[in-house]
Structure 1
Amino acid sequence: MPIRVFLADDHRLLVEGFRHALKDYDIDVVEVAYNLDGLISRYLEVKPDVLVIDVRFDRKSASETGLDVCEELLATHPDAKIIVFSQFDDQYIIEKAYKIGVLSFVLKDESIDVLNQAIRTVAEGNEFFSPKVAQLLARSSVKDRNPTKLLEEKELRAFLLTADGASLADVAETMDLSTKTVGHLLKSIKSKLDIETQADFTKLAIRFGLTTTELKTKK
């Protein structure tokens, strides 16, 4: 039996394109909406297996977004199975969607196969993280971590020296290590913190108040 989907998006060509494409996956788009007017009432009437909804709609007179509708619907019908389908890869929007109870967030530049997987997973009541969204969340979680909690003792010292402007050779001399060893330490640090340049080191250190430079500026 086909999965019944309600698709809400203000781009008519996109809606029709996906409605047609999803038929090949035994997914039936039983209802569409091009704006947010009365969307919850229509959802309750149709009772689809899954609601696929965009975040932003072109409505000059309203500040309401797709996420606002999702939050309102889930407040009274927590069993609603929702996928947010958006072109915006904003970390805040993605995290908010999952926080309010949406089961999946799929970016519009991902393949129809990914949307199919999301719909099938969500129809079963499970969360689905698309490849791109999972990668974005993984990277953001790394960036949000404190280096003092993520790095080993030698890595942290090398990180702090580099953040304060020391060159690879300077770090090696200060720590009494070979430049090759320091190179390996820096490579590990960059991987763990998802940073690359010396400026990245400095910015992250300042964010957590870890550098001597930052301490001086506070005086």
Structure 2
Amino acid sequence: MTTFTTPIRVLLADDHPIVMTGFAMSLAAEGLDVVGQARTPAEAIALYAELQPDVAILDIRFGTELTGLDAAHTILKADPDAKLIFLSQFDQDSLIKETYRLGARAFVTKDCDPADLATAVRQAHAGKLYFLPQIAERLASMAVHGDVSPQSQLDERDLAVFKLMAEGLTNAEIADQLNLSTKTISNISQSVKEKLGVHRPAYITKLAVKHGLIEP
């Protein structure tokens, strides 16, 4: 007697059509059913609610104010059991850690073998975590050596100032944007530099890019 298995239903979200089409074809070749393709985080949220896929694959960067992480927060709020996989060309340690902290089942880089993405989908559908070897190694390194990212060392206000510093804003411009006094921003920026051990503007920007806080 032949047994028919229902294919795993997958939602893809990426703002690069060629990338998304390529992954959709690869997943289909692996026997998975791509039921929807979203171009923005807002569209991903709407399609998830409409289609109720088994697994959603979300890009992190969309070139909009919202990110894949924002979409994930909204999706998980409505469906705490949602099985999410993050897909990104960026593989900063802080991003990897944040996705798993949020509740992702896997973090897969865009240059991965399509078979690895299909495996991640199957593992996520089964309620398991999936780690590419290089991702597992980096997570293990963070566990051993500790998290030294700005996110782990700065409070919310310090981090907001740090990101604006990294974008090249002056203390006066940061003060205006955050509605604080220039003296307060000057004190915070000096404290941030001391905490992170960086003082030159170029190093501050490089550190922010490395940890995914601003676009490269």
TM over 0.5: yes
Measured against aligned partners, the alpha-carbon deviations of 1:40-68 in whole angstroms (never above 9, x if no partner) come to 12211101110000000022xx2x21011
Tell me, yes or no, if the aligned pair for 1:3 and 1:28 is still in contact at 8 Å.
yes
Q: Secondary structure at the match of 1:78?
A: coil
Asked if the contact 1:2–1:26 (Cα under 8 Å) also holds between the matched residues in 2, the reply is yes
5+ residue gaps, structure 1: 146-206, 208-219
Q: Deviation above 3 Å: which 4+ runs of structure 1? A: none
Q: Residue 58 of structure 1 is aligned with which of 39, 55, 63?
A: 63
C-alpha separation in 1, matches of 2:112 and 2:71: 23
Corresponding residue for residue 46 of structure 1: 51
Q: How many residues align?
A: 143
Q: Which residue of 1 aligns with 2:10?
A: 5
Q: Does 1:34 align with 2:39?
A: yes
- The one-character-per-residue Cα deviations of 1:6-57 (angstroms, maximum 9, x if unpaired) are 0000110011111111122101111001112242122111011100000000
TM alignment of 1:1-219, pairs within 5 A: 1-59=6-64, 62=65, 64-144=66-146
Q: For 2:60, give the aligned amino acid.
A: V
Q: TM-score, normalised by structure 2?
A: 0.63
Q: Equivalent pairs: percent with the same residue?
A: 39
**Residue identity in the other structure for 1:108:** K
* Aligned amino acid, residue 55 of structure 2: V
| Structure 2: gaps of 5 or more residues | 1-5, 148-196, 198-216
Task: Name which one, 1 or 2, has greater alpha-carbon Rg.
Answer: 1
State the secondary structure of the residue aligned to 2:104. Answer: coil
* Secondary structure of 2:36's aligned partner: strand
Secondary structure of 1:126's counterpart equals coil
CA RMSD, 1 decimal: 1.6
Take 2:63 and 2:77, find their aligned partners in 1: how far apart are those partners? 24
Contact kept in structure 2, 1:107 and 1:133, CA below 8 Å: no
**Aligned mates of 2:34, 2:134 — CA distance in 1:** 24
SS in 2 for 1:95: helix
What's the CA shift for 1:76? 2.6
